[in-house]
Structure 1
């Protein structure tokens, strides 16, 4: 079997994948943009999470998130973007575990986003489908 036979993308899967990916991109753009200016709500939340109240720290996190999101949104670099966003979400999960956040609403939120992120990529990218669908 060729890759096109094992990993073809139907129009429904393609549009579902694009929709899931769009949700992640919109969420991450919001997340990154609010970290750029020194907003009190961001600074206060960073302190609650154990991060310094330094606006430069939140700006750097915002830039990392936005660059990773841009890479995810571009088809040629979407896998690299997904890997970087997975690492970014892993940091958020680790932060919530460290401070003892609620499990299902806060700590696992990054896991939920990761499933949506990779699900969207899986549904819209036949190469990712071929890689993940090792046995048919």
Structure 2
């Protein structure tokens, strides 16, 4: 049998996690505010995606609620789960209208990976849920 363990990230990894965390929140906060304000560019983009322009403020409010959940440490995992679902909708919406795959469609996936990486690097609870393990040499007593 092979022994495994979940490594605790060092100080640099936790700092990288904090930077990712702030960047994800800042980016999505700007996006939410622009949707709530229902700027003309947001209206045009909504129509281009096949959505009604009056949906933008509602999606902005939903994103703001998700961000609050993600930003509060006690609800951050729930926030990341709900954010993942929201971003999945963005992937499908962009893919449906044949936006560029790597730059536009997958951008929501990149944001989701950054959101989860930020939590993984900063939060022991996330590392216990998603244990990336390193296999250690087997001990002769395990045989």
Do the structures match in fold with TM over 0.5? yes
- Aligned to 1:34, the other structure's residue is in SS state helix
Task: Tell me whether 24-33 or 121-130 shows the greater mean CA deviation.
Answer: 121-130
CA distances 1:2-30 after superposition (whole Å, capped 9, x unpaired):
xxx73534222211111101100000100
| Higher percent of residues as strand | 2
Count of aligned residue pairs for this structure pair: 130
TM-score normalised according to structure 1 size: 0.89
Where do residues 78-93 of structure 1 align in structure 2 (5 Å cutoff)? 78-93=76-91
What is the TM-score with the length of structure 2 in the denominator? 0.85
| Structure number, greater radius of gyration | 2
Q: Which residue of structure 1 aligns with residue 116 of structure 2?
A: 118
In structure 2, stretches of 5+ residues that fail to align are: 135-143
Structure 1: give runs of 5+ residues left out of the alignment.
Answer: none
Alpha-carbon displacement from aligned partner over 1:17-62 (angstroms, at most 9, x marks no partner): 11101100000100000011231111011000110122xx111100
Answer whether contact 2:6 2:132 (CA < 8 A) is retained.
Answer: no
Alignment of 1:50-65 (within 5 A): 50-54=50-54, 57-65=55-63
- 1:117 to partner: Cα distance: 0.7
Distance 1:114 1:38 in 2: 24
Distance 1:125 1:7 in 2: 12
Comparing 118-127 and 9-18, the one that deviates more = 9-18
Q: Is the 8 A contact 1:25 1:73 kept in 2?
A: yes
Moved over 3 A (4+): none
Partner of 2:15: 15
